[in-house]
Amino acid sequence: MATASAPGKIILFGEHAVVYGRPALAVPVLQVHADARADLVTDKRMRENWADAILVEAPDIGLFSPLSALLADQTPHPLAAVIQKTLQHLGVAIPPAFTVTIRSTIPVASGLGSGAAVSVALIHALAGLFERALSDEQVSQITYEIEKLHHGTPSGIDNTVIAYAKPVYFVRGQPIHTFSVARPFTLVIADTGQAAPTKESVGDVRKLWEADKSRWEAVFDKVGEIVVAAKKAIESGEIASLGPLMDANHALLQEMTVSSPELDRLVLAAKAAGADGAKLSGGGRGGNMIALVQPESAESLASALKAAGARNTIITTIK
């Protein structure tokens, strides 16, 4: 038997522009996590297909199925794809019978990296079951391949920050850079309760870019400048300067058409309740927003966001 866990994540700055080569900052959120368990089982029955002897259980979504059934569709179920790709990577051609069980406290389609976290946890559990070691880079790469099933052309942020479980300064196609937090700071994460269709919003931004590349390249440049300034502020402990940077980043995301009335309402409610800055986080059109707050005001800000319509809130300290 082997178990593994992986955290959620939030993007602090740079979403969408990161797809076009600009940097982004993302951090793990340890308050929510995906957990995976893999158990070898005794199965002496003769089977024509070894995948019939692998059972996949995800009680949170009511999934109890042999792997073979999940592989039967033209596009395999994401959990089946994780198992298949991981076994291939581990060099396990004909595995023994086993059961995998996946649970998660990360809201689905909310910008917290639920899909990538499940993949990372499951990959580690399978590696542990077969007593193999995988580097963070290998786990991230396998997860990225699965992310393509979810999002089409993912930025690579989710798999990176969750696989490494550290704050990450990310530029697509460049080596990973983790960064240090000089002074801890507190965020309130608020969930709109609406699914965030990342694939759709990424596709719509691409249509805008294709129609007027010079305009949107200039917008992405502005986002990139915000990200660089935010990284310097975090590394130097100048947390007060993050609030205005968050506000500016949100305004640019609104310009990209990836915000929503619900997100904007929560951003305005956070500011009215005393947040130093607020913005959507992730793909937009739903999912989560984040607000920078003084630690002593976090609970009252969370209450204000719930009163403004947030389904759930999470208070997290970035350090």
- Residues involved in catalysis: 158
| Strand, coil or helix: 115 | helix
Bin 131: left if φ > 0, else alpha if -120 < ψ < 50, else beta: left
Q: Quickly list H helices, 91-197.
A: 114-129, 136-151, 157-164
Tell me the C-alpha distance between 110 and 113, whole Å: 8
DSSP state of 274: T
Contact criterion met (CB below 8 Å) for 100 and 57: yes
CA angle 28, 288, 177 (to 5 degrees): 30
Tell me the C-alpha distance between 154 and 243, whole Å: 27
Tell me the C-alpha distance between 273 and 267, whole Å: 10
No. of helices (H) and no. of strands (E), the chain: 10, 11
Contacts of 277 (CB under 8 A, 6+ apart): 242, 243, 244, 245, 246, 247, 271, 291, 292
Tell me the C-alpha distance between 172 and 9, whole Å: 17
Best CA proximity match to 218, nearest among 171, 169, 258, 252: 252
Strand partners, 247: none
